[in-house]
Amino acid sequence: MGIGVKIAGVGYYVPEKILDNAYFENIVDTNNDWIMQMTGIQERRMAAPEQATSDLGILASKLAMEDAGISAKDIEYVVHHSVTPDMIFPGTSCLVQHALGIKDAGTLDVQAGCTGLIYALSVGYAYIKAGLYKTILVIAGDCLTRITDYEDRNTCVLFGDGACAFVLTATTEADSFKSFYVDGDGSFAELLSQPCSGSRIPATHEALDKRLQYLKMDGPNTFKLAVTAMTNSANKVLKEANMDSSQIDWLIPHQANMRIMESVAKKLKISEEKVVKTIHKYGNTSATTLGIAFAELVKEGKIKRGDNIVFVSFGAGATWGATLFQY
């Protein structure tokens, strides 16, 4: 048998500060009923002023390493995903690597919107399968509240902060990952973006006056595309693994909107109790939603070794994808 890849450990971290729906009623023209009915979100978390994305990822990583029973010296490569890195450069993977005391290890930042965890896991997976490394730390972290416009009711109620981490290791046993599918289409780039602070629109006073440093989203069109792309992605990984949806123990969809998750689960014929939902507690934390939901259920003892799980997501880019794995 060739080299297999195993999820040896997982961890997550969400900041302590809670923003409930009442908070938004005081700052924009919205109300609890609209937010609940249209999104399913009750609360979301906000990083403390002194916390940046790497700080959340460091805490999640420590838990994942503890869960895997490994130390910093065992990690050979760090893959970090974020749409809100500490800085545009250097990469957040380097900052996390240094803070955790990991030495002589590769560092790579990937960026694929809310599909980023699936992309990052696929990178770690491929490195191990190719025989290049045996132990890789994969992190997704985001402080979306730092790029949220609290004057825009269309978006400000949706987003929160958090991080998740996975330790992937080589194994001589069967591969945990049964299939990966990632895809993208840049013709949808304007659906969801942070226009300012890159090379196209640098952070000038003029750009900041136009509030271009904040996330912009065409919600309705993102919603429609997300349902179709997530359903197709999940079907592709099921087909690739020669499995049908009845064999799935848990569907973990990107937590962007309760209605999207319900619609995708219905199209896949996956019953309600198998669909993991954390959106009411944490809102949309970008690519981290999948890992936070997974790690939380592992910690609670609900997800068990041997369970078949599908991660499926859609996000800025546009990007979309899925993975099917046996934990």
Distance of alpha carbon 25 from alpha carbon 34, whole angstroms: 11
Q: Is 21 left (phi over 0), alpha (psi -120 to 50) or beta?
A: alpha
CB of 5 to ligand UT7, least distance (A): 27
Q: Which of 219, 232, 267, 299 binds ligand UT7 (CB under 6 A)?
A: 219
Q: Which of 92, 97, 176, 222 binds ligand UT7 (CB under 6 A)?
A: 222
The two most distant CA atoms of the chain are separated, in Å, by: 60
In this complex, which beta carbon is closest to ligand UT7, that of residue 23 or of residue 34?
Answer: 34
Q: Which position among 153, 274, 277, 299 is part of the footprint of ligand UT7 (CB under 6 A)?
A: 153
CA distances 324 to 284, 307, 318, Å, are 22, 11, 21
Q: Does 243 bind ligand UT7 (CB under 6 A)?
A: no
Phi-psi map region of 275: left, alpha, beta (phi>0 left; psi -120 to 50 alpha): beta
- Select the span of 48-56, 150-158, 207-215, 242-250 touching ligand UT7 (CB under 6 A): 150-158
| String of DSSP letters for 293-309 | HHHHHHHTT-S-TT-EE
**Min dist. Cβ of residue 117 to ligand UT7 (A):** 12
Q: Which residues of 196-208 are buried (b: 16+ CB within 10 A; e: fewer)?
A: beeeeeeeeeeee
Binding residue for ligand UT7 (CB under 6 A) from 18, 38, 207, 243?
Answer: 38
Catalytic position from the list 21, 164, 196, 254: 254
CB-nearer residue toward ligand UT7: 216 or 236: 216
- What tokens appear for 317 in the block? 């880019």
Smallest gap from residue 315 Cβ to ligand UT7 (A):
4
Residue 270: which residues within 8 A CB-CB, separation 6 or more? 245, 248, 251
- Contact between 5 and ligand UT7 by CB under 6 A: the answer reads no
| Active-site residue flag, 254 | yes
Count of Cβ atoms closer than 10 Å to residue 149 Cβ: 16
CB of 81 to ligand UT7, least distance (A): 14
Residue number of the CB closest to ligand UT7 reads 219
Q: How far is the CB of 54 from ligand UT7 (least distance, A)?
A: 21
Q: Which of residues 54-113 bind ligand UT7 (CB under 6 A)?
A: none
User: How far apart are the C-alpha atoms of 95 and 98, rounded to whole Å?
Assistant: 5
Asked if 320 and 171 touch (Cβ cutoff 8 Å), the reply is no
Catalytic, out of 114, 143, 164, 196: 114
- The residue annotated as part of the active site, out of 81, 94, 257, 284, is 284
Distance, in Å, from the CA atom of 31 to the CA atom of 37, rounded to the nearest integer, reads 10
User: Does 295 interact with ligand UT7 (rule: CB under 6 A)?
Assistant: no
The one among 180, 181, 223, 294 contacting ligand UT7 by CB under 6 A: 223
Binding mask 167-186 for ligand UT7 (x = CB under 6 A): --------------------
Options 157, 212, 241, 261; binder of ligand UT7; rule CB under 6 A: 157
CA distance 38 to 259: 7
CA distances, 113 to each of 8, 100, 151, 323 (Å) = 25, 25, 23, 16
Give residues in contact with ligand UT7 (CB under 6 A): 30, 34-35, 38-39, 114, 153-154, 157, 192, 219-220, 222-223, 226, 256-257, 260, 284, 314-315
Q: Write out the catalytic residue numbers.
A: 114, 254, 284
